[in-house]
């Protein structure tokens, strides 16, 4: 019989780490039927001569929970050959959700993941209340790529406790009800649950994100869900001080591994200028926990963020900035001009592990007024020296003068790129952290897969092609228990990316577009060198052009 699709003459890198080989890949009924020299015909043939044929990439860390309502292609990720995403990370999401709590859920996403409220108001369909209904709505709506869901703890606490979830721990009765809802979610197909302990993760009205109020008794109950079901993982933002694991945090990781009996992936390891050995010190400290499944996530890119003072996420870990969030523009400008606020900020920045007064790295990128536009490309330190003031005063004065329209760019972490390869090669880590769908006008690391292959494999030869593809295909698929993806092998789902090794890549910085609901703006990351993206045996993209089908599936744990 003729196959549905035949990819001929390509160099197959199968995702296992095995050596590449010249082979044909035959696909029938959405699965890989044969790999080798295929003599039978097919309804459609792709000539992959001089191209690499690999499994579709699996992104372990995204926040597309809302974007799936308006963007079935999940851009920018799908442009780069990502065919499966895991969403619901960092303990924040929009299901389950009672109608009365919808605004709270939306503001949680605003404050934690920097998605504008106006975009969420126009874009979210609210076709669900329970978590299983959320999965079913996603399946009905359709998707270009495969959707894996993690259950974020915050909306589950909201669902049972209402606004009190942002103020206190749950009672035993409330804990039992939340546990039952989490069990329902994992039984319905969630791949586990997520949470955060990070102080910069604030929710509605600047209050702590609800999952941060969970007690140790609560966490024991919720982790036991996975032990009782024998499946699932936990994802959590573990470190309050970036890349530094405290004794208390190591004990919490140990606790979650023990009580769940399942893997726990945690955020994050990012190289810091002020503490250059922080990542390696933390790896050594928690290595026994890593061997039990406590795997840290890393990124292959410098973490370049865009900063604006309408939504100053980067400063959310500074207590004195709490009153800035979710305020009208004029009130924010008043706060920024206050001398006491500035003095409090100076003191806090001296102790901050996020942004440590590196004004020479903060660059004016965009502006509204002509006067500030003339400063584009200059650093805040350069401007401060000319004005005869310190960096903080220059930073805040520029923002006030430009009615908070000015945008700054900052290489926050991994700025010393020479330190990145040691984390990429380390088998104790998981490569991810794209944050796809989040921080929409601040950063876009959704192109990490093509950046890895172009920059670290081809250009700098820090990893072999086979090793790099294994790291972004079978490794994350195996970690989450996605059993039939991440490899090119007969019987596996036919998720395939075909790319040009000579041109594959993406930039450090994205480009701004106004394509969110209501014309909202976001950074996107175009891809280079991706020729074909095949999802479940059907063409999603051909030479960068989207097809007319949505072949993605809602993946469910246990299947």
Confidence of residue 76 (pLDDT cuts 50, 70, 90): very high
More confident residue, 348 or 120: 120
pLDDT tens readout for residues 518-527 = 999 999 999 9
Q: How many CB atoms lie within 10 A of CB 379?
A: 20
Q: So what's the pLDDT on residue 379?
A: 95
In this structure, what DSSP letter does residue 528 have?
B
Q: Which of 288, 291, 245, 247 is nearest to 266 (CA)?
A: 245
Q: How many CB atoms lie within 10 A of CB 419?
A: 17
30 pLDDT exceeds 80?
yes
Q: So what's the pLDDT on residue 45?
A: 97
3-state secondary structure of 59: strand
Q: So what's the pLDDT on residue 306?
A: 80
The DSSP element (H or E) to which 496 belongs, if any, is strand 496-499
Confidence of residue 363 (pLDDT cuts 50, 70, 90): very high
Q: Please, where in the chain does CATH 3.20.20.140 lie? A: 57-302+414-437
Return the half-sphere exposure (C-beta side, CA atoms, 13 A cut-off) of residue 85: 34
Range 263-276 average pLDDT: 94
pTM of the model: 0.91
Q: So what's the pLDDT on residue 559?
A: 75
For residues 62 and 291, what is the distance between their CA atoms, to the nearest angstrom? 25
Q: 146 and 189 in contact (C-beta within 8 Å)? A: no
Q: Buried b vs exposed e over 314-325: b needs ≥16 C-beta within 10 Å?
A: bbbbbebbeebb
Tabulate helix, strand, coil % of the chain (nearest 5): 40, 20, 40
For residues 353 and 314, what is the distance between their CA atoms, to the nearest angstrom? 11
Look up residue 400 and give its two tokens. 């006030």
The contacts found for 20-24 with CB under 8 angstroms, 24 or more apart, are: 20/52, 20/465, 20/466, 23/53
361, with CB counted inside 10 A (0-12, 13-18, 19+), is: middle
Q: So what's the pLDDT on residue 318?
A: 87
3-state secondary structure of 225: helix
Q: 441 and 395 in contact (C-beta within 8 Å)? A: no
Confidence of residue 274 (pLDDT cuts 50, 70, 90): confident
pLDDT tens readout for residues 109-139 = 998 998 999 999 999 999 999 999 999 999 9
Q: How many CB atoms lie within 10 A of CB 489?
A: 15
In this structure, what DSSP letter does residue 106 have?
H
534 pLDDT exceeds 70?
yes
Range 400-406 average pLDDT: 95
For residues 423 and 468, what is the distance between their CA atoms, to the nearest angstrom? 12
Angle, in degrees to the nearest 10, between helices 391-401 and 380-387: 90
Give residue for tokens 């989040």: 438
For residues 504 and 50, what is the distance between their CA atoms, to the nearest angstrom? 13
For residues 404 and 219, what is the distance between their CA atoms, to the nearest angstrom? 40
Range 482-508 average pLDDT: 97
For residues 62 and 60, what is the distance between their CA atoms, to the nearest angstrom? 7
Look up residue 326 and give its two tokens. 């979710």
Range 332-349 average pLDDT: 94
Confidence of residue 1 (pLDDT cuts 50, 70, 90): low
Q: So what's the pLDDT on residue 354?
A: 65
Give residue for tokens 């699709």: 5
DSSP H stretches of helix in 319-390: 329-336, 339-351, 370-373, 380-387
Paired residues of 409 in beta bridges = 306, 363
Average pLDDT, the chain: 95
pLDDT tens readout for residues 39-74 = 999 999 999 999 999 999 999 999 999 999 999 999
What are the φ/ψ torsions at residue 170 (nearest 5 degrees)?
Answer: -80, 150
3-state secondary structure of 43: strand
For residues 310 and 327, what is the distance between their CA atoms, to the nearest angstrom? 9
More confident residue, 25 or 198: 25
353 pLDDT exceeds 70?
no
What are the φ/ψ torsions at residue 441 (nearest 5 degrees)?
Answer: -110, 15
Q: So what's the pLDDT on residue 401?
A: 96
3-state secondary structure of 222: helix
Range 30-34 average pLDDT: 98
CATH code linked to domain 57-302+414-437: 3.20.20.140
What are the φ/ψ torsions at residue 240 (nearest 5 degrees)?
Answer: -75, -35
448 pLDDT exceeds 70?
yes
Q: So what's the pLDDT on residue 143?
A: 98
3-state secondary structure of 210: helix
352 pLDDT exceeds 80?
no
Handedness of CA 327, 331, 333, 334 (dihedral sign): negative
């Amino acid at each position: 019989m003729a196959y549905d699709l035949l990819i001929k003459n390509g160099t197959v890198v199968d995702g296992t780490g095995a050596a590449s080989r010249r082979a044909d890949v035959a696909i029938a009924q959405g699965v890989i039927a044969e790999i080798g020299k295929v003599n039978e015909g097919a309804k459609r043939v792709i000539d992959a001569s001089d191209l690499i044929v690999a499994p579709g990439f699996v992104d372990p860390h995204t926040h597309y929970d809302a974007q799936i309502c308006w963007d079935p292609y999940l851009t920018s990720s799908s442009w780069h050959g990502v065919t499966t995403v895991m969403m619901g990370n960092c303990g924040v999401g929009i299901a389950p959700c009672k109608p009365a709590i919808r605004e709270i859920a939306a503001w949680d996403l605003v404050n934690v993941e920097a998605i504008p409220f106006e975009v969420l108001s126009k874009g979210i369909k609210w076709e669900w209340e329970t978590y299983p209904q959320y999965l079913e709505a996603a399946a009905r709506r359709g998707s270009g790529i495969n959707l894996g869901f993690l259950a974020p703890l915050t909306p589950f606490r909201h669902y049972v406790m209402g606004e009190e979830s942002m103020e206190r721990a749950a009672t035993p009765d409330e804990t039992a009800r939340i546990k039952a809802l989490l069990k329902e979610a994992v039984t319905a197909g969630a791949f586990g649950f997520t949470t955060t302990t990070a102080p910069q993760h604030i929710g509605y009205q600047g209050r702590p994100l609800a999952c941060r109020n969970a007690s140790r008794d609560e966490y024991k109950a919720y982790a036991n869900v996975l032990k009782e079901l024998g499946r699932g993982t936990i994802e959590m933002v573990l470190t309050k001080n970036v890349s530094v694991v405290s004794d208390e945090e190591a004990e919490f990781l140990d606790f979650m591994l023990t009580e769940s009996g399942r893997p726990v992936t945690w955020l994050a390891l990012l190289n810091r200028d002020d503490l250059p050995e922080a990542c390696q010190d933390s790896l050594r400290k928690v290595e026994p926990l890593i061997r039990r499944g406590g795997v840290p996530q890393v990124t292959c890119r410098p973490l370049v963020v865009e900063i604006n003072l309408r939504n100053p996420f980067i400063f959310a870990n500074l207590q004195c900035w709490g009153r800035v969030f979710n305020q009208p523009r004029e009130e924010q400008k008043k706060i920024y001009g206050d001398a006491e606020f500035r003095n409090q900020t100076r003191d806090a920045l001296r102790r901050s592990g996020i942004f440590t007064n590196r004004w020479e790295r903060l660059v004016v990128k965009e502006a509204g007024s002509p006067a500030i536009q003339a400063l584009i490309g200059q650093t805040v330190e350069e401007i401060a020296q000319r004005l005869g003031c310190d960096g903080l005063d220059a930073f805040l004065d520029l923002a006030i003068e430009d009615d908070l329209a000015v945008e700054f760019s900052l290489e926050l972490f991994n700025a010393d790129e020479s330190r990145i390869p040691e984390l990429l090669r380390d088998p104790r880590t998981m490569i991810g952290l794209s944050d796809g769908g989040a921080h929409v006008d601040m950063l876009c690391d959704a192109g990490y897969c093509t950046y890895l292959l172009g920059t670290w494999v081809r250009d700098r030869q820090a990893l072999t092609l086979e090793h790099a593809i294994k790291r972004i295909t079978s490794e994350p698929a195996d970690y989450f228990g996605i059993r039939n993806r991440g490899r090119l092998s007969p019987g596996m789902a036919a998720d395939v990316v075909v790319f040009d090794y000579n041109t594959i890549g993406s930039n450090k910085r994205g480009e701004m577009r106004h394509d969110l609901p209501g014309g909202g703006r976001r950074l996107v990351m175009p891809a280079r060198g991706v020729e074909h993206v095949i999802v479940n045996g059907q063409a999603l993209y051909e030479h960068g052009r989207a097809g007319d089908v949505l072949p993605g599936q809602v993946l469910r744990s246990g299947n």
